[in-house]
Structure 1
């Protein structure tokens, strides 16, 4: 009985514990299945749904894009000599994605001290690229050997900082021809925004003025680069893909290096400009402007001290050969043409000259304050008589004078390739004066304009074009700097000047040299020349000095125009010796080591 009850109770207990031994296994199986399902679903999400993104993140962490800037094309003179080229230098690049932002905050102050670059500049460059960017960012150029060594010593600490050799723009003759050549520099934000569609990127170097800017598309070349695999500290393990750079094209100019040296020496440290040009085809043989700058400063990092020194000069980046000034008595070439071609004066006209002529109650004086007696057009040109040309302006009126001024090319750009830096100048007329000054055109305005004063503005290059008309027999040419610019070389516009008038111009300009205000060029070491002086008033400052000449008169092959800004002293005294020094180099190969000194001569 007792046994029976015990047996029944045992059976009940066994029933309640059936499967307990498998319970833990079942639970583990369920958990495992759940975990595996979660992992599997996560893998599906990561590999299928987010696979492309994650692969990109992985690649960004181990694959670096190393773009390589092409070597810029050279700028050559007409004989193939290098005026602008490249040199190897060391640059510092940052790989933004190599570090989190917090780590960059620690690295950059030390990097700033080594490079001697303001911390804010480096931070701005890095932030502009973005901390997750896989593309390197240049933060310094042309660093010193000591800086290269210092960065190498910090190589393990400065993860993401890399030093590499690169080509840097080099101007072997320093500031020689700076305004013609221009300079290069890294693009700023505005440049990048404006030219992003042309394939430019952050850190690109472009031409900023002169030939460098005008021929940017030829000089820049085509980018190349490498896709490389790197380790955890940014060291290259292997090159995955490589595209070679394509160097830019060379640009050959009409500039002659020897003559360029001559015009630079002749002008010296005076403010002003000298232009030398072939009067038959417009080739610019030399062009200088002062004050100037060394374009090498902008090929690397320019210091605050260097920039301040440039700012202390009088607008060193302005190319004065292309800016407008009163052309003074050189303009009497145009006045002579207008007076004769208008029919107001026969070619053999003789007029009395006076100490002054009174117009509208104002006395307009001759430059010598005495007059020169009776003169024809040739003599008036030789002695630069103001009162002679005042009379021609009063008789013919402003219309022919203004019309011929424009026909000679004044008041418009010449067409030279660096036109972005060229002023059009100004040919005033009644409409302009009424709009700008709310005044009518007076006879005194014509009088002033007849001797290249008043509101008239022209550049030394425009004045050179004017001289070329007389030199080549009556055609306007298009100045150009590119040796291969065939269109400009062949462009000649006949002005419709009669042979008789051309003969008077050429005779008068020759007499300037042989017995007038340009006798500084009447020397046996030079072939027969023709020219004209000019002195432009610029109160309350000193006057400007001008002189232009061409030669040989039998077959002219060069025009030289010298302009000295606020020099005082007169064109024949100050500017003519500069022209002579340039022509002595051109014709004789004479090399001067000093600037041309003023001479005591009869001078307008």
Structure 2
């Protein structure tokens, strides 16, 4: 009986029991097969060994598959073990970074100026949710926190959605927000509320321009400082910024195991953060309070400095601001209120203005040291002098008759100093301006410090496309025209007279002195005769001259100083007073500047000087 076998020849017959598409060959007896082959005209087909060949192919294929799977498993287990271990750990092990507590800031007597207080901050853990899931959650979260959704999204984008570190999106959260987020914790996976110390300034806006404030690190600063991470709190102004390395501290953290819901099961490891160091400033809180009160909400600045070593005891500026506003999220209403003031963030102690007659200290030094007008010089003063068709008037419109240096300083005669400038030309004025520190950094290190201006021929040609005129020299001799100086620079000028001729570098801390190219002390280069005339002339200003309001009264030490009234058309004039006390053994220099106050320096600024000096020498009750 014939048997049917599948073969690959398309010309074979089909078995009645096979699939219509399965070819089968009919195998008959050898005789019949021989005949059939003969009939077809083809040689006999060999079938022995075909079953073994299929088996071999099957075995080879199986071996290749097993080898491929084995090599892949070996690669995963041996080469990428660490990667997959970390991937698994992120599902159950999380790192809670712990920021350090920022170092405290205290005044020279240990009174707290800036510290920390406990608050709650809201963090997002990017890797807990997919990017798509975060996008779905952001609108709800923004509504709870009263934050723009774009702001939350931006912070997640900056951190990266696979970041293992939490991202802070809100500081100093209100109790209502904390409670609401705790209640919604199951619906908001990856959202955490953590206790965190924030900056606190117990005296509010006191010394705000000196202390500065803190905030999250800006992107440009983050890119430039690889040691910082997104969301770090850094100093952004004043001493907080200047002494950042000292105040910062070092991060710590906890490694914890969590369950599927993100709840902490156990702490696997912990490294305590190291708090920043305490910073002691040279400021005196009591004197700072008096200086700010004496300004009485008038635009201006008060600088109080020890002339012996440059220590800043007070630096007041108004308008001002409360740095506590920036320890949390500032509201639009708070920001709008700040904008209603005129440049509240501007430290007017570091801004440059025309120094007016306080500059006559420098004109006196230039006149004597030039050799053109020696110490015994006496000049006739008049109502005005005429230069190139222009009249340059004395401030009293009459002159003061014949005066020497001391008398000219006491009465602040303009025409006396006009003549000094005309005789010396502009060179000595420029030289001694720079010797006293004008037109250059003081070395205090605070950002935003103006350099002031010591004008010269090249400067005027570049900025005004004009030559230098004799009238420019005349104006410069009385601190008008193009010359400008900051209240802090004028404190250094005054200190050089008080301390015997030394230009000191102003310091905010004797504990930590930042590196700076400005020396701590350098000689101005005045002769003893010049120094004596300056000291006696400044004393005469208070005794019988324009600065009578700077007298402290019975029981207080004698003072010395100089008034100044700077024109600022079309606005009202500025008022200046610079001085020191005690006259014979100076301990304190005080500079008062009132912006567009109107009136003269003797009437407006000298009383402020008197209040600050009396507070310094008045024993504490």
Equivalent runs, 1:369-448 vs 2, <5 Å: 369-418=397-446, 420-448=447-475
Q: What's the counterpart of residue 88 of structure 1?
A: 118
What is residue 455 of structure 1 aligned with on the other side? 482
- Is 1:174 aligned to residue 204 of structure 2? yes
50-59 vs 420-429, which deviates more? 50-59
Instruction: Tell me, in whole angstroms, the C-alpha distance in 1 between the residues paired with 2:62 and 2:261.
Output: 39
Q: Which residue of 1 aligns with 2:530?
A: 501
SS at match of 1:580: helix
1:296 aligns with 2:324: yes
Q: SS in structure 2 opposite 1:453?
A: coil
Distance 1:210 1:480 in 2: 13
Query: Following the alignment from structure 2 to structure 1, what is the Cα–Cα distance between the partners of residues 206 and 130?
Result: 47
Deviations 1:220-263 (A, max 9, x none): 01111112111112111111221111111111111111111111
Q: Tell me how far 1:42 sits from its aligned partner.
A: 6.2
Distance change in 2, residues 1:30/1:339 (3 Å) = closer
Q: Compute the displacement of 1:66 (Å).
A: 1.1
What is the rounded CA distance, in whole Å, between the counterparts of 2:384 and 2:499 in structure 1? 35
DSSP-derived class of the 1:173 partner: coil
Question: Distance in 2 between the 1:476 and 1:435 partners?
Answer: 30
Q: TM-score, normalised by structure 1?
A: 0.89
Deviation sequence 1:297-353 (CA, Å, 0-9, x none) = 111111222223223322222211111111000011111111111111131222121
CA offsets, 1:507-547, max 9 Å, x none? 11111111111111223253110011001111111111100
C-alpha distance in 2, partners of 1:189/1:278? 39
1:164-243 alignment, distance < 5 Å? 164-196=194-226, 199-243=227-271
Matched, 1:519 2:548: yes
* Deviation per residue, 1:97-120 (Å, 9 max, x gap): 111223223322222122111111
Work out whether residues 78 and 483 of structure 1, in 8 Å CA contact, stay in contact via their aligned partners in 2.
no
Pairs within 5 Å for 1:524-535? 524-535=554-565
Structure 2 distance, partners of 1:38, 1:388, is 102
Residues 543, 566 of structure 1: 8 Å contact kept:
yes
CA distance in 2, matches of 1:52, 1:333: 73
Once the two structures are superposed, the pairs formed by residues 543-582 of structure 1 within 5 Å of their partners are 543-582=573-612
How do 1:37-48 residues align onto structure 2 when only pairs under 5 Å count?
43-44=73-74, 46-48=76-78
Q: Which residue in 1 is equivalent to 2:498? A: 471
Over 3 Å counting, the alpha-carbon distance change for 1:121 and 1:499 in structure 2 is same
- Please list every run of 5 or more consecutive structure 1 residues that lacks an aligned counterpart in the other structure: 1-28, 592-604
Match of 1:327 in 2: 355
**Greater per-residue helix proportion:** 1
In the alignment of these two chains, the number of paired residues is 562
Instruction: Provide the C-alpha distance between the structure 2 equivalents of 1:38 and 1:396, rounded to a whole number of angstroms.
Output: 96
Give the deviation of 1:37 after TM superposition. 8.3
Which residue of structure 2 lines up, in the alignment, with residue 20 of structure 1?
none
**Secondary structure of 2:598's match?**
coil
- The 1:157–1:524 alpha-carbon spacing in structure 2 relative to 1, beyond 3 Å, is same
Measure how far apart 1:50 and its partner are. 4.3
Match of 1:246 in 2: 274
**Deviates most, 552-561 or 127-136:** 127-136
Q: What is aligned with 2:56? A: none
Larger Rg: 2
Q: Distance in 2 between matches of 1:47 and 1:64?
A: 23
- How far apart, in 2, do the equivalents of 1:524 and 1:225 lie? 61
Match of 2:388 in 1: 360
